[in-house]
Amino acid sequence: MEDDSLDWESLFGSDNDSVDWNSLFGSNDEKEDDDRYSTDIPGLELVREALDHSQQMKIIQAILDTNTFSDAGRVNQAMCFGKLPPHLDWLSRHIKNQLPHLLPRVLMQREPVFDQAILNLYRKGEGIVSHVDLARFEDGVVILSLMSSCVMTMRPVPKVSPADPSLEVDILLNPGDILALSGLARYEWEHGIKECEYDVVRGERIERGTRISVTLRKLGTTVETPTIETTATRTSI
């Protein structure tokens, strides 16, 4: 039978050295507005190349070093509650300091801004059902895309079934892009990824590969004890 495990070291190498996140990622200068991408969906913000290649690779390496997907043939989702691990804590602070307009000010002023993370591993062709994040999480959902491009499809929460496909909005997510959902985009629009091995964007065929997404959120109540959970079945939460 074919071995479904991923040879992470052959893809990204090995690095057992500790990471000084502050010195690695430099100053807290804000991103230029030219990096922004917007749609007609209120509350949706997308920053292209919010993380450069080096920053992306360090986060990927940290995910490997913490064995988040150690059994990649079985585990495809991991959740962190409470105090975030160093690489995700850095990402949270990076967003707050360098992308202060990504979410409404009242959300950026929370302490902490985020205290829950969900990491999803997608093999080529895999997706996730269209959904709205659970109400147990506060407003403000931020998604970092890593390793491979894919199209995320947004659609209004359907009032009748089936949903009207003409209302769907496709958004191309490239490695290093950061997407934020707040307000109407958070509560009145679903987001999902269709199962397919490639996407077609403006007539161009874009092949998918192995992809990791990191989603940061804030629980409605504070979690005192940090926990990490993994699952073999991806859930839309």
Q: Which of 74-78, 121-125, 183-187 has the lowest mean pLDDT?
A: 74-78
Return the CATH superfamily for domain 40-231. Answer: Alpha-ketoglutarate-dependent dioxygenase AlkB-like (2.60.120.590)
pLDDT of 70 higher than 50: yes
Would you state the pLDDT for residue 38?
A: 54
Kindly list the distances between the CA atom of residue 224 and the CA atoms of 83, 88, 237, in Å, as whole numbers in the listed order: 8, 17, 21
**Is the pTM for the entire model greater than 0.85?**
no
Q: 111 falls in which pLDDT band (50, 70, 90)?
A: very high
How does pLDDT run across 4-33, given as a tens digit for each residue? Answer: 555 545 444 444 444 444 444 433 343 344
The residues spanned by each domain of the chain are 40-231
H, E, C per residue of the chain? CCCCCCCHHHHHCCCCCCCCHHHHHCCCCCCCHHHEECCCCCCEEEECCCCCHHHHHHHHHHHHHCCCCCCCCCCCEEEEECCCCHHHHHHHHHHHHHCCCCCCHHHHCCCCCCCEEEEEEECCCCCEEEECCCCCECCCEEEEEECCCEEEEEEECCCCCCCCHHHCEEEEECCCCEEEECCHHHHCEEEEECCCCEEEECCEEEECCCEEEEEEECECCCCCCCEEEEECCCCCC
Average pLDDT over residues 104-111: 96
pLDDT of 102 higher than 80: yes
Strand ranges across the sheet with 77-81: 36-37, 44-47, 178-181, 141-146, 211-217, 116-122, 77-81, 227-231
H, E, C per residue of 98-126? HCCCCCCHHHHCCCCCCCEEEEEEECCCC
* Residue type, position 181, single letter: L
180: Cβ–Cβ under 8 A, 6 or more apart, which residues? 44, 45, 46, 102, 103, 140, 141, 142, 143
Average pLDDT over residues 172-176: 97
pLDDT of 43 higher than 90: yes
Average pLDDT over residues 148-174: 90
